[in-house]
Amino acid sequence: MKSNNYSIEITEPAEADLHHIANYIAKELLEPELALKVLNTIKRQFLV
pLDDT, residue 23, reads 97
User: Is pLDDT of 3 > 70?
Assistant: no
- Top pLDDT among 1 and 32 is at 32
CA dist 19 → 1, 2, 5, 25 (Å): 37, 35, 27, 10
pTM: 0.75
Q: Phi/psi at 8 (nearest 5 deg)? A: -115, 130
CB-CB contact of 14 with 35 (8 Å): no
Mean pLDDT, residues 23-29 taken together: 97
Q: For residue 29, how many C-alpha atoms fall within 13 Å in the half-sphere facing its CB?
A: 13
